[in-house]
Amino acid sequence: MDTPLYSLEFEKPLRDLGKQLESLHQLSIENNVEVSNEIAAIEEKIKETKRSIYNNLTPWQRVHIARHPKRPYTNDFISRLFTDFQELHGDRMFKGDYSIIGGTAFFRDQPVMIIGQQKGRDTKENLLRNFGMPCPEGYRKALRLMRMAEKFKLPIFTFVDTAGAYPGIASEERHVAEAIAVNIREMSQLNVPIITTIIGEGGSGGALGIAVSDRVLIFENAYYSVITPEACAAILWRDRAAAPQAANALGLGAGSLKKFNIVDEVIEEPLGGNHNSPDFASEKLGEALNRHLVELKKLSPEDRLNQRYERFRKLGVFEDKMAQEEKIK
Q: Write the CB contacts of 282 (distance below 8 Å, at least 6 apart in sequence).
A: 72, 76, 77, 80, 81
Statement to judge: residues 16 and 164 lie in one domain: no
Residue 322 lies in a domain: no
Shared domain for 131 and 15, answered yes or no, is no
Residue 168 lies in a domain: yes
Q: Give yes or no: residues 257 and 297 share one domain.
A: yes
User: CA 139, CA 135: separation in Å to the nearest integer?
Assistant: 7
Judge if 94 and 226 occupy the same domain. yes
Q: How far apart are CA 201 and CA 199, in angstroms?
A: 7
pLDDT band at 40 (very low <50, low <70, confident <90, very high): confident
If asked whether residues 41 and 94 sit together in one domain, one would say no
Residues 250-290 have pLDDT tens digits of: 988 898 899 889 999 999 999 999 999 999 999 999 999 99
pLDDT at 3: 40
Pair (86, 158) in one structural domain: yes
Q: How distant, in Å, are the alpha carbons of 30, 152, 181, 194 from that of 146?
A: 61, 10, 15, 9
Whichever domain contains 77, its CATH number is 3.90.226.10
Provide the domain limits for residue 21.
9-56
> 190 with 87, same domain?
yes
Residue 8's pLDDT is 86
How high is the pLDDT of residue 323? 61
Q: What is the pLDDT of residues 146-200, one digit of tens each?
A: 999 999 999 999 999 999 999 999 999 999 999 999 999 999 999 999 999 999 9
Is residue 24 domain-shared with residue 85, that is, in the same domain?
no
pTM value is: 0.90
Q: State the pLDDT at residue 21.
A: 84
Tell me if 256 is assigned to some domain: yes
Looking at the fold, whether 49 and 68 belong to one and the same domain comes out as no
Q: Is the pLDDT of residue 13 over 90?
A: no
Residue 321, pLDDT > 70, answer no
Is residue 51 assigned to a domain?
yes
In this prediction, residue 318 carries a pLDDT of 66
Task: Please give the share of the chain, as a percent, with pLDDT higher than 90.
Answer: 75
State the pLDDT at residue 228: 92
1 pLDDT tier (thresholds 50, 70, 90): very low
Q: Does 75 share its domain with 122?
A: yes
> How many domains is the chain partitioned into structurally?
2
